[in-house]
Amino acid sequence: MARRVTIHEVAAEAQLSRGTVSRVLNGEPYVSASAREAVEAAIKKVGYVRNTAARSLATRQSNAVALIVHEPHSLVLEDPNIGNILIGTNAVLSDADYQMVTLMVDSQRDSDRVVDYLRGGFVDGAIVLSARTGDPITEAIEELGIPAALVGHPPDLHHVSYIGIDNRRAAEEIVTRLLATGRRRVGMLACGLDRDSGQDRLAGFTAVLGERFDPALVIPHAFYSYDAGVAGMEELLRRAPDLDGVFAASDAVAAGALDVLHRRGIAVPEQIGIVGFDDSSWATRCVPPLSTVRQPAETLGRYAAQRVVNQLRGADDDDVLESVMLPTEIVWRESA
Amino acid sequence: MARRVTIHEVAAEAQLSRGTVSRVLNGEPYVSASAREAVEAAIKKVGYVRNTAARSLATRQSNAVALIVHEPHSLVLEDPNIGNILIGTNAVLSDADYQMVTLMVDSQRDSDRVVDYLRGGFVDGAIVLSARTGDPITEAIEELGIPAALVGHPPDLHHVSYIGIDNRRAAEEIVTRLLATGRRRVGMLACGLDRDSGQDRLAGFTAVLGERFDPALVIPHAFYSYDAGVAGMEELLRRAPDLDGVFAASDAVAAGALDVLHRRGIAVPEQIGIVGFDDSSWATRCVPPLSTVRQPAETLGRYAAQRVVNQLRGADDDDVLESVMLPTEIVWRESA
DNA sequence: TTGTACGCGTTATCAT
DNA sequence: ATGATAACGCGTACAA
């Protein structure tokens, strides 16, 4: 906090009262043109900028919205969706003249501090990425009743709305198409099974395979990484030399798997067909390019932000609480 | 701002004065054990949390530090260093109990809002990533005199310190080693020439090549992207069929270039040697793995944060203003 | 050790 | 249309 020039000095300079200066500052009506000019000149002259802490205290709002990224940092870097969600969120918030404040939480300590931050009234609303069940942050949000939206994880909370995609259905669709290319022995490189999104993709896979489903052909891995694809693909080939199809839980995973196949001289899509998820930059970089599920990450961010903005502007509660599943789209390229 | 419980109510509940409650809150000495217990019990009972805006107003500080990312969003996603800088920064800030607040600026409007944010006293300090010469944000920082550090761009400002790497020297080193493998006709895929970092890498390249330098063999591109590598490499081969070495301005660029060479059946490193920059995840994913420059991104972030924290804690100005160039390291793999 | 009272910089509610 | 003046919630000298 560095400024020392207050409304007082502006008022003195302009030969007016603080009240009038404040009114000019907030663009309120009932100020004469002459007063307005005088104030504006004075502001410029003395170099005044308003102290937002004081303003916050008086108005009880901050004009800022938190975007809480609730993932280990290393993961954040890998996830191709987070960046796009961020872009969408910032665009909407920026338009509505809210400052987006990104808060990363990667430790208990971070988490505690973020809760304090929320309680402290530094933000008027919050958007939470991949909130976990029963974590202190979402609990604090609900308790405080601050306008919020969750992205990527259905809420156990009843006062917070959720924006996401239908992972299960998306998985079903792409696996169905994969099977339609004549694959008979299909495996899955599954990731993030500790989250709903991961579980749902697996569920979709299982459902479509039906009779053909073989649990031994599901290789789980904690993270959606290239390395998971490499290791998983090797294991899969070990378990099923007659494999002819693979559903990778993300494009990065698929890329890792593809490289293994390359090295072994296995032709894609001739011998093995492979599909990914995300339609991230990996998809077009792979050789051959990946068939995958397009996830509308930026739109996810926009919706979430819009939700919060609406709540902030006092929209109807019922309107705001309804959760949304955004549609995904299959992008069919050459890998299957 | 959602809380309504004030110190007042805690004081009433505990049968003590607000002053005492405040003292307990701030862990000050001179409070009896009994008073402390009573206050703590009362706090729990009435569910009190302090209003940070009011606290900010009174103490004139916020306990938050801004990390300002001054790049187009799309670029942020591509840059492998930003994430690591962020990790380092957050680690140090978190240890020192400051809340890191990430602010993205991608438009004039964003920029204006961030300036307001800084002026509003929402943060006690700031770290700026790739600040541009004479932009309003760094100017505001200097004008306000708030503790700050710049990462990745030497300051034109005299009151802000800078943490970076010596791009020119790093380029010189790796190009020297590239030449030592016997290359005679070497091109560069240059990027970001509107920034110091880009210019410096080019300067290093030019210096080492000396007599052999051929301006026609420098292909510039705005962004450090895979696509830049693809397009640049194609152009380079067109211009110099006898090419036997390439310095790519980043690993992502090198990856694009490598794929072009692959497709044309040009052997790496046998026919053409190629080196990158960053030692990002690209480097090990490429076939063959990239020889490259390791950039200590996380350390960069740590240093910058430490600078700001020191300033906040009232370190000597001279100590704090000294700028730092962190050493880079060559990682030699198989691509050259 | 504890309580009192004023200040932090704005906004908002009154009169005028 | 403008000017006093009371909140807003907390920290902190100073008094007790």
User: For the segment B292-311, what is each residue's pLDDT rounded down to a tens digit?
Assistant: 999 999 999 999 999 999 88
Mutation to test the A interface, candidates B48, B70, B97, B122, most A Cβ within 10 Å: B122
Query: Chain B contacts of A3, Cβ < 8 Å?
Result: 119, 121, 144
| A23 CA: nearest nucleotide by C1' | C11
Q: CATH classification of A7-50, choosing from 3.30.300.30, 3.50.50.60, 1.10.260.40, 1.10.150.120?
A: 1.10.260.40
Distance CA A17, CA A22 (A): 9
Exposed e or buried b for every residue in B212-250, given b needs 16+ CB within 10 A? eeeeebbbbbebbbbbbbbbbbbbbbeeeeebbbbbbbb
Give the mean model confidence (pLDDT) for residues A290-309: 94
Question: CB–CB of B49 and A146 under 8 A?
Answer: no
Mutation to test the A interface, candidates B56, B60, B65, most A Cβ within 10 Å: B56
Residue type for A110, please? D
Whether A2 shows a pLDDT value over 50: the answer reads no
Whether B263 shows a pLDDT value over 70: the answer reads yes
Distance CA A148, CA A246 (A): 38
Q: Between the CA of residue A209 and those of A176, A203, A237, A238, A243, what are the distances in Å?
A: 8, 10, 19, 21, 14
Per-residue pLDDT band at B97 (split at 50, 70, 90): confident
Rounded to 5°, the CA angle A287-A292-A293 comes to 160
Whether A1 shows a pLDDT value over 50: the answer reads no
Instruction: Map tokens 């998820």 to a residue.
Output: A277
How confident is the model over A160-188, as pLDDT tens digits? 889 999 999 999 999 999 999 999 999 99
Question: CB–CB of B61 and A87 under 8 A?
Answer: no
Distance CA A89, CA A67 (A): 8
| Residue-by-residue DSSP string for A114-160 | HHHHHHTTS-SEEEEESPPTT-HHHHHHHHHT--EEEESS--S-SSS
- Give pLDDT, residue A329: 96
Longest pairwise C-alpha distance within chain B: 88
Tokens of B24: 């307990």
Instruction: Map tokens 């959760």 to a residue.
Output: A323
Distance CA B11, CA A101 (A): 33
Distance CA A207, CA A215 (A): 12
Whether B317 shows a pLDDT value over 70: the answer reads no
Tokens of B1: 């701002």
How confident is the model over B197-253, as pLDDT tens digits? 899 999 999 999 999 999 999 999 998 999 999 999 999 999 999 999 999 999 999
What dotted CATH number matches B64-165+298-326? Answer: 3.40.50.2300
User: For residue B274, what is the enclosing H or E element?
Assistant: strand B273-275
CA of B54 to C1' of C12 (A): 17
Exposed e or buried b for every residue in A50-62, given b needs 16+ CB within 10 A? bbbbbbbbeeeeb
- Give pLDDT, residue B206: 98
Residue B35 and residue A48 in contact, taking contact as beta carbons nearer than 8 Å: no
Residue A312 and residue A152 in contact, taking contact as beta carbons nearer than 8 Å: no
Per-residue pLDDT band at A86 (split at 50, 70, 90): confident
- Please compute, for residue A222, the number of CA atoms within 13 A of its CA located in the half-sphere on the CB side: 4
Whether B75 shows a pLDDT value over 90: the answer reads no
- Provide the percentage of residues in chain A whose pLDDT is more than 90: 49
| A33 CA: nearest nucleotide by C1' | D1
Between residues B228 and B27, which one has the greater pLDDT? B228
Whether A308 shows a pLDDT value over 70: the answer reads yes
Question: CB–CB of A53 and B226 under 8 A?
Answer: no
Nearest chain B residue (CA) to A255 = B285
Give Cα A168 to chain centroid, integer Å. Answer: 18
Hey, how many other C-beta atoms are within 10 angstroms of the C-beta on A4? Answer: 9
- Give pLDDT, residue B98: 84
**Main-chain phi, psi angles of B29, to 5 degrees:** -75, -175
Distance CA A297, CA A81 (A): 6
Distance CA B190, CA B220 (A): 5
Least-confidence region, from A262-271, B90-99, B169-178: B90-99
- The shortest C-alpha distance from B176 to chain A (Å) reads 31
Give Cα B266 to chain centroid, integer Å. Answer: 36
How confident is the model over A60-69, as pLDDT tens digits? 888 889 999 8
Strand D positions with any atom < 7 Å from protein CB? 1-5, 7-13
- Give pLDDT, residue B318: 60
- Give pLDDT, residue B77: 67
Tell how strand A292-294 and strand A329-331 pair up. antiparallel
Distance CA A95, CA A90 (A): 8
Residues 6+ apart with CB under 8 A from A77: B80, B83, B84
Residue spans per domain, chain B: 7-50, 64-165+298-326, 167-294
- The shortest C-alpha distance from A9 to chain B (Å) reads 17
Rounded to 5°, the CA angle B50-B56-B62 comes to 100
Burial of B205 (0-12, 13-18, 19+ CB in 10 A): buried
Alpha helices in chain B (DSSP H): 7-14, 18-25, 33-46, 52-59, 73-78, 80-95, 108-119, 136-144, 167-180, 196-209, 226-239, 251-263, 281-285, 297-312, 317-321
The partner residue sitting opposite B52, judged by closest CB among A74, A86, A121, is: A121
Task: Report the candidate in B22, B114, B20 with the shortest Cα–Cα distance to residue B66.
Answer: B114
Check whether residue A60 has its CB closer than 7 Å to nucleic acid strand C.
no
Which residues of chain A between 21 and 40 are close to nucleic strand C, CB under 7 A?
22, 25-26
- Give pLDDT, residue B9: 87
Tell how strand B329-331 and strand B292-294 pair up. antiparallel
Residue type for B321, please? L
Strand order in the sheet with B218-221: B218-221, B186-191, B245-248, B273-275
Ramachandran area for residue A182 (φ above 0: left; ψ -120 to 50: alpha; else beta):
left
Within this chain, domains B7-50 and B64-165+298-326 share the same CATH topology: no
Q: Between the CA of residue B150 and those of A32, A252, B76, B324, what are the distances in Å?
A: 44, 33, 17, 10
Per-residue pLDDT band at A257 (split at 50, 70, 90): very high
Distance CA B100, CA B87 (A): 11
Residue B246 and residue B275 in contact, taking contact as beta carbons nearer than 8 Å: yes
Whether A199 shows a pLDDT value over 70: the answer reads yes
pTM equals 0.80
Give the mean model confidence (pLDDT) for residues B61-71: 87
- Give pLDDT, residue B204: 98
B69 secondary structure, DSSP code = E
Coil, strand or helix at B36: helix
Whether B285 shows a pLDDT value over 90: the answer reads no
Nearest chain A residue (CA) to B252 = A285
How confident is the model over B100-155, as pLDDT tens digits? 888 888 888 889 888 878 877 778 999 999 877 778 898 888 887 889 999 987 76
Ramachandran area for residue B61 (φ above 0: left; ψ -120 to 50: alpha; else beta):
beta
Q: To which CATH superfamily is domain B167-294 assigned?
A: Response regulator (3.40.50.2300)
